[in-house]
Copies of this chain bind each other. A is one copy, B any other.
Amino acid sequence: MSRCYNFAPGPSTLPLPVLEQARDELLDFRGTGCSVMELSHRSREFTEVHNETQALLRELLGIPAEYDLLLMQGGGHMQFSMVPLNLLGKGNVASYIVNGTWSRKAAAEAARFCTVHVAAENPGVAAPSQDELRIDPRSSYVYYCDNETVHGVEFGYVPETGGIPLVADMSSNILSRPFDIRRFGAVWFGAQKNFGIAGLAIAAVRHDLIGNAPDSCPVMLNWKSYSDKNSMLNTPPTFAIYIANLVCHWIKREGGVKELERRASVRSKLLYDAIDGSDGFYFGRVEKESRSRMNVTFWLKEDALSGLFIEEAAKEGLRNIKGHRSIGGMRASVYNAMPVEGARELARFMNDFARRHG
């Protein structure tokens, strides 16, 4: 079949030019006579890819020298452990804003290592406001997830913590809007939603927060192992880093994070307008000011039509819009690599489907 619009929540769609370049040089990486997958991670050629990827990410995200940029494996679940292991220091308390599935999982994992204080809780309807946050002043850090993919809830502000290091999981909205890293102790993201492919997780960590893990911390869970060795203590996930490199170049060519932010607004507005203009045929459950620009969730008033909706959409090349199994309904994930045209096509289909069945 021809290329579809893939609304999967992650792994998810990649920029077509990235895929084409990867295909075209898959058997001979720039005259080496090898695939990039076959290059030693210590070769000159791969070292260039590795270092350039870090430099490009620093440039795109505005990460200054006092923050380390770490390339890791293990996904979000590994960071759920690494955050407390690296940041508790001599403390024993951390505050978590529990606002959805991912922050809840992060808090549950942290509870292995410390007392978790829940600073705010929310059933997936809105991001808690600054006024609602109750941060335990003994906390070694404050943690939140900037965009919750299951319900589609996104923060519209950076929490104020009164000097306690703030940690954000930005897996699902990284590079979709500028942010000031200086507001954070650490920002981390898995690559496979808004950036690259599965098997790569990236953190920007303020340098003075590195080096405080206990001796019992497994070597690959200690941020210092990555900081000390330029993320090359052992073999990094070279192909995933290569794809990240191509995506960075693509973002620069397209106009940088500001342009991706503009597209994210256009895409999500197209879909929320289709919901809001459907006279109740579709409805969402997230308060408007917390609606995610990345994961647009909605339900059909007549739930019996949901199966047909998914089936007909798929026939038109609009794939993977079924909602998370825990809450049902629909979810269109419209990450950085989703063309605006994909969202426009989905909105058109939604209007058409509502007209035919409303």
B27/A11 in contact, CB under 8 A: no
- A40: nearest chain-B partner, CB-CB: B8
Taking a contact as CB atoms closer than 8 A, the residue among B14, B33, B113, B317 that contacts A317 in the complex is B33
Copies in the complex: 2
Report the stretch among A51-59, A88-96, A236-244, A349-357 that lies at the interface.
A236-244
- Are the CB atoms of A27 and B35 closer together than 8 Å? no
Contact of A238 among B39, B197, B238 (CB under 8 A): B197
By secondary structure, the A interface counts as loop
Q: Is the CB of B112 within 8 A of A216?
A: yes
Q: Which residues of B contact A215 (CB under 8 A)?
A: 112
Q: Mark A1-13, 1 if CB is under 8 A from B, else 0.
A: 1111010111111
Decide yes or no whether A268 CB sits under 8 A from chain B.
no
Interface hits, A180-214 → B, CB 8 Å: 190, 192, 197-200
Number of interface residues of A (CB under 8 A): 69
Contacts of A33 in B (CB 8 A): 1-4, 6, 317, 319
Q: Is A320 an interface residue (CB 8 A)?
A: yes
Chain B residues whose C-beta falls within 8 Å of the C-beta of A34 in the assembled complex? 3-4, 6, 13, 319
Contact A40 B9 (CB under 8 A): yes
| Chain B residue at smallest Cβ distance from A81 | B218
Bound form: Cα–Cα A8–B42 in Å: 10
The stretch of A15-23, A126-134, A154-162, A272-280 that contacts the partner chain: A15-23
Please name all residues of chain B whose beta carbon is closer than 8 Å to the beta carbon of A28 when the two chains form the complex: 1, 3
CB neighbours (8 Å) of A218 from chain B are 78, 81-82, 85, 109, 112, 218, 221
B20 near A23: Cβ-Cβ < 8 Å:
no
Q: 3 closest pairs, A vs B, by CB?
A: A4-B33, A199-B237, A81-B218
Instruction: Report which A residues bind B (CB closer than 8 A).
Output: 1-4, 6, 8-14, 16, 19-20, 22-23, 26-28, 31-35, 37-41, 43, 73-78, 80-82, 85, 109, 112-113, 190, 192, 197-200, 215-221, 233-240, 243, 317, 319-320
